[in-house]
């Protein structure tokens, strides 16, 4: 690695492992979020400049490249304006740290500091898929293929629990109870707050099948529920990995002639489950608790005014006495080893 690249990656490591944890006292969730943002940025920059990960340096940081990164996240990964702003804040925070440790890097921090936050509208429209779209998507995985069985289980569990993608990836074997009459999952959310979410019987069946394939011995309850294999070892799965297989199934459905959006980002599963429950009569305070929102106002802002269809149905029922709709369940050489580079510099 060149000197400028070594400086770049060492500052990333110190920022993540020393500053955020020891000096700022950031939560585990915050560190994971910032780490994910920097990984996404590195991948984008390497692709943008057609260079190896190990060749990146502060020279690749500019208003144009960072705005391109943010725009790409919105268009390709489905980031909301809030998510975009959070990613920008993470990048600015890292550059501020770098500038404080090396004054020659101040220009990069000041330049990126000119990028404004994106305006966030109050009372946003909630994007969610229909139960028909969900059925089409879940029909795409091949249930005779081991990896597809894993992917199917993840999508079903993500929808059924309404958990955030990182909450799903943080689940451990001990968090899943599928042997009792009332199967449930213990989800750890923001601020390390836990909530117990009941599981549908069908979801429990998917989990039992998955466990028999991926955790046949089940000797360590503290193991991650979902994982990938890298160099023969179990490693945490990334959010990008989940997004890739969801996009793959969307494209498969489109190729078969189904009407489904070409991109369903992970958070839509959470929005959709909440909206489906709300549509079918679950009280807003219960939806709030189920989502793990700290305050019901958060839930009310997102969902109470989000569904025009609910209002239309309510008017029709009030005038024509139609029965309510029934609920449906449903310093090495890193040239050929980006993973090693990420590990050594605290990015995984």
- For the annotated catalytic residues, the residue numbers are 164, 190, 267, 270, 293, 303
3-class SS of residue 19: helix
CB-based contact 171:165 (threshold 8 Å): no
121: burial class by Cβ within 10 Å (0-12, 13-18, 19+)? exposed
3-class SS of residue 215: coil
Whole-number Å distance between alpha carbons of 105 and 237 = 33
CA dihedral 167, 172, 173, 175 (to 10 degrees): -60
CB-based contact 306:263 (threshold 8 Å): no
CB-based contact 95:61 (threshold 8 Å): yes
Strands (E), the chain: 176-177, 184-188, 194-198, 227-230, 233-236
Contacts of 212 (CB under 8 A, 6+ apart): none
Q: Please write down the long-range contacts of 258-266, taking CB distance under 8 Å and 24 or more positions apart.
A: 258/136, 260/133, 260/136, 260/137, 261/129, 261/133, 263/76, 263/78, 264/78, 264/129, 264/133, 264/137, 265/77, 265/78, 265/79, 266/158, 266/165, 266/239, 266/242
Strand arrangement of the beta sheet that strand 194-198 belongs to: 176-177, 184-188, 194-198
CA distance between the termini of the chain:
20
Q: Is the dihedral of CA 130, 131, 132, 133 positive or negative?
A: positive
DSSP state of 180: S
Nearest to 264 by CA among 248, 247, 276: 247
DSSP state of 14: H
């Amino acid at each position: 690695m060149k000197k400028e690249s070594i400086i770049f990656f060492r500052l990333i490591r110190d920022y993540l492992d020393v500053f955020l944890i020891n000096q700022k006292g950031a939560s585990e969730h915050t560190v994971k979020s910032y780490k994910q943002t920097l990984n996404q940025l590195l991948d984008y920059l390497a692709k943008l400049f057609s260079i190896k990960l190990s060749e990146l340096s502060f020279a690749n940081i500019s208003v144009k490249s960072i705005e391109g990164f943010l725009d790409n996240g919105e268009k390709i990964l489905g980031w909301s304006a809030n998510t975009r702003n959070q990613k920008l804040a993470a990048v600015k925070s890292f550059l501020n740290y770098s500038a404080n440790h090396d004054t020659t890097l101040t220009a990069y921090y000041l330049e990126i500091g000119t990028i404004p936050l994106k305006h966030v509208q109050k009372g946003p429209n909630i994007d969610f898929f229909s139960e028909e779209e969900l059925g089409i998507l879940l029909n795409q995985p091949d249930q005779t293929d081991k990896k597809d069985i894993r992917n199917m289980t993840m999508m079903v569990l993500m929808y059924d629990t309404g958990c955030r993608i990182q909450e799903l990836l943080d689940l451990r074997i001990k968090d899943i109870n599928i042997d009792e009459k009332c199967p449930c999952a213990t989800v750890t959310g923001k601020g390390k707050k836990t909530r117990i979410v009941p599981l549908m019987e069908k979801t429990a069946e998917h989990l039992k099948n998955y466990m028999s394939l991926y955790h046949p011995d089940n000797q360590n309850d503290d193991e991650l529920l979902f994982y990938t294999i890298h160099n023969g070892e179990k490693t945490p799965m990334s959010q990008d990995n989940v997004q890739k297989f969801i996009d793959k199934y969307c494209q498969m459905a489109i190729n078969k002639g189904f009407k489904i959006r070409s991109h369903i980002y992970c958070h839509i599963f959470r929005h959709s489950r909440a909206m489906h429950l709300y549509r079918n009569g679950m009280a807003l305070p219960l939806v709030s608790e189920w989502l793990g929102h700290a305050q019901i106002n958060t839930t009310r802002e997102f969902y109470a005014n989000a569904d025009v269809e609910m209002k239309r149905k309510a008017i029709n029922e009030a005038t024509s006495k139609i029965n309510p709709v029934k609920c449906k369940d449903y310093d090495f050489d890193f040239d050929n080893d980006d993973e090693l580079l990420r590990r050594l510099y605290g990015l995984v």
